[in-house]
Structure 1
Amino acid sequence: MATLHLLSHSPFSDSRLVSCLRLLGPGDAVLLTGDATYALQPGTAQLQALSLMPEGINLYALEEDLQARAITPPSRAQAVDYPAFVELCARFAKVNSWL
């Protein structure tokens, strides 16, 4: 059963991102929102960790939050708008919000 993992907290303030990455299963996806998009900054250990995810794991980032933080997503991450966010939530059997 594939899960969409939602992260919204800064990856520099706690270990939610690291914990999430350890629990990813086949067909899962990660959606970065809010301050979690800082994980996509070039040259960070967080971006390196995201880049090492298996190819079967999709990586998404909320476009509005990327723009607000002036972050250009790497080729691995797909920017999505709010309608696509809702569609992703409906597509997966489970949605896990890392509060």
Structure 2
Amino acid sequence: MSTLHVLSHSPFGDDRLTSCLRVIGANDALLLTGDAVYALQPGTAPCSELKARGLKLFVLAEDVQARAIEVPGWAKAIDYPAFVELSIHYDKVNSWL
């Protein structure tokens, strides 16, 4: 069973990203929204961890644009309609509230 994990909190304020990475499976994907996109800041531990993991990683384009963060080549920026499509593609959606 595949899961789309959705994170919206900054990785610098709590440990949701760390907890998510402990349970994410090979068939799962991760979508960063809101302040969670700060995990893509170059030179930070969260960015290094995400890159090293080689996950299926998506980010909401609107959120990276609002925070002036560049999307690395190993992540894919998507819009809201693509977010809906992702939600349908995976068996479950787990929002890390």
Smaller-chain TM-score range?
A: over 0.9
Aligned to 1:34: 34
Q: Give the structure 2 partner of residue 51 of structure 1.
A: 51
For residue 10 of structure 2, give the secondary structure of its aligned residue in structure 1: coil
Runs of 4+ in 1 over 2 A off after TM superposition: none
2:19 — aligned with what? 19
SS of aligned partner of 2:94: strand
> Offset at 1:3?
0.3
Paired with 1:75 and 1:85, the residues of 2 have a C-alpha distance of 19
Aligned pairs for 1:64-75 within 5 A: 64-75=62-73
Deviation at 1:22, TM superposition (A): 0.7
Unaligned runs of at least 5 residues, structure 2: none
Distance 1:85 1:25 in 2: 19
- The size of the alignment, in residue pairs, is 97
**Secondary structure of the equivalent of 1:9?**
coil
Question: TM-score, normalised on structure 2?
Answer: 0.97
2:58 is paired with a residue whose SS is strand
Q: Secondary structure at the match of 1:52?
A: helix
Structure 1 unmatched ranges of 5 or more: none
Matching residue of 1:88? 86
Deviations 1:41-67 (A, max 9, x none): 0000000110121x4x30000000000
Identity %: 63
> CA-atom RMSD, angstroms?
0.7
